[in-house]
Amino acid sequence: MRPTLLGRLARRIGRFALSGLLAAAAGTVVLAQPAAAAGGLTPVTGFGSNPGNLSMYTYVPAGLPADAPVVVALHGCAQSADAYHANSGWSKFADEYGFALVYPQTGPANNALSCFAWFDPADSTRGKGEAASITQMVTKAQALYGSDADRVYVTGLSAGGGMAANLLAAYPDVFAGGSIASGLPAQCATSQIGASSCQYGSLDLSPSQWGDKVRAQYPGHAGPWPRVAIWQGTSDYTVYPVNATELRDQWTDVWGISQTPSSTATLPGNTTLTSYDDASGEPAVQLYQINGMGHGLAVDPGSGAEQCGSGAAYFLDTVCSSYYTAKFWGLDQEGDGGGGTDPGEGGEKLPAPAGLAAGATTDTSVALSWSEVQGASSYRVHRGGTQVGTPTGTSFTDTGLSPATAYTYTVTAVAADGTAGPASTAVSATTTGYTPTCTTATNYAHVVAGRAHTGGGYTYANGSDQNMGLYNVFVTHTLKQTSPGHYVIADAGC
């Protein structure tokens, strides 16, 4: 490749590159026989024909039983399997919950910036190139560790996130769930030139058009579809936040569900979680929007149960995305990871609790009650797919909530041997009150986050319709939310 062309390639894809690691990664070589990695990773060879010229590394907790899940983790540009393993926090939950980790690795022999080729159909479609190599790694892991073929998941950052979306589309029969961090919709681009249009703007497609891109990858597949988590910083100017909205549109359409959230919750790190439930009331798609975060993977260093990872270039200290993704997939439970239920092992499953109802609500709490299930030793209460309580009785008050926010709950009954039954019918409740909030961001970011709208090239605050100036990433305002959906300009102070 001529230097001038390589330079253009680097500039075009460079905003996907993790610049702090670029110098070190440039000397990495993709090996047909991978060398041992640091940090406890094991190189694996002979996993198939490897048409994508990738290396395979694994992390397997001591004493991992047969029929455990597998999580495939895809690094970002100019990163390595070891860097992703060291900083993402996934190893902590592999140890705690019991699952194997597979780390595919690409390198400059494939791409000048060591990016997975999410934009190239020769690598991102069923049976082709890198996508085929990754599924061969899954098959190898199942052979080595006796893994559960029904509980295979894929997660990725940036270009790795774009490839994860393509894998979910091309192999819905392999992957039960996916997580896309600062990534792109499946088949958003089919060329390097098209990649820029996806990264920095919108293709202006309808949800059904986005969904068609998924359905076209494996024609005839009627489900089940993977459960998809989407992670995005609102101040990401490498992969613009509109990609998260388009991912939401794409996967809710594939599931045949509304783009209107079933519930909304506030998480640490200025994170807003919106869930989109399937017909059974379980979350099928979850969108995590992190206010003020730039391009990278959300981590939360620390020893707390909900903390994970290490801060580094493009591993950003906000919230532990690996924890919430693992919970969404059900990796903290035995069973099929179906978004909150726990089939368990050994005993007979109890029936779903009947009569789940939301009672008194306050600004920060919701009171729940349900009918007793004969033989239940305890119950598990899930809010938006995340377990929030394990009462032994038939009532529970969920606390620490946000004012004027809708939440969705389900309950499962747990037998004395730990076997949990199916989830109850979902019930929704909205907390009372309202706490004004202020957000400073560019006009573009305000529009993407739903605080403002555009018209004639200008930006207007939702509710008040105050003119905020041109719609771009250069004009910045502080908006104060004075009531749900109503914003006013508060540049002078909030």
The 3-state secondary structure of 358-398, one letter per residue: EEEECCCCEEEECCCCCCCCEEEEEECCEEEECCCCCEEEE
* pLDDT, tens only, 91-101: 999 999 999 99
Q: Report pLDDT for 16.
A: 40
What global pTM score does this model have?
Answer: 0.66
Q: Which neighbouring-strand residues pair with 169?
A: none
Domain positions in the chain are: 3-329, 357-430, 437-489
* pLDDT, tens only, 34-71: 444 445 799 999 999 999 999 999 999 999 998 999 99
If you average pLDDT over residues 383-400, what whole number do you get?
Answer: 87
Going by C-alpha positions, the residue among 295, 198, 303, 186 that lies closest to residue 243 is 198
Pairing of β 152-157 and β 177-181: parallel
CA distance 213 to 232: 21
If you average pLDDT over residues 167-181, what whole number do you get?
Answer: 97
CA distance 432 to 405: 8
* pLDDT, tens only, 107-154: 999 999 999 999 999 999 999 999 999 999 999 999 999 999 999 999
The number of beta carbons lying within 10 Å of the beta carbon of residue 212 is: 16
Percent of the chain with pLDDT over 70: 89
Greatest alpha-carbon pair distance for the chain in Å reads 73
Query: 385-389, 413-417, 490-494: which range is least confident on average?
Result: 385-389
Yes or no: say if 77 and 17 are a contact pair by the CB < 8 Å rule: yes
CA distance 385 to 330: 9
Q: Report pLDDT for 3.
A: 32
* pLDDT, tens only, 403-456: 878 788 889 898 887 778 888 888 888 888 877 889 999 999 999 888 999 998
The residues assigned a catalytic role are 158
Q: Report pLDDT for 348.
A: 65
CA distance 21 to 260: 39
Which CATH number does 357-430 carry? 2.60.40.10
CATH architecture designation of domain 3-329: 3-Layer(aba) Sandwich (3.40)
The answer on pLDDT for 183 being more than 90 is: yes
The answer on pLDDT for 157 being more than 80 is: yes
Residue with more model confidence, 208 or 482: 208
Going by C-alpha positions, the residue among 347, 370, 346, 348 that lies closest to residue 359 is 370
Helix (H, G, I), strand (E, B) or coil at 287: strand
- Secondary structure percentages of the chain, helix, strand, coil, to 5: 25, 30, 50
Cα 431–chain centre separation: 26
The number of beta carbons lying within 10 Å of the beta carbon of residue 211 is: 22
The answer on pLDDT for 30 being more than 80 is: no
Percent of the chain with pLDDT over 90: 71
The answer on pLDDT for 338 being more than 50 is: no
Q: How high is the mean pLDDT of the chain?
A: 87
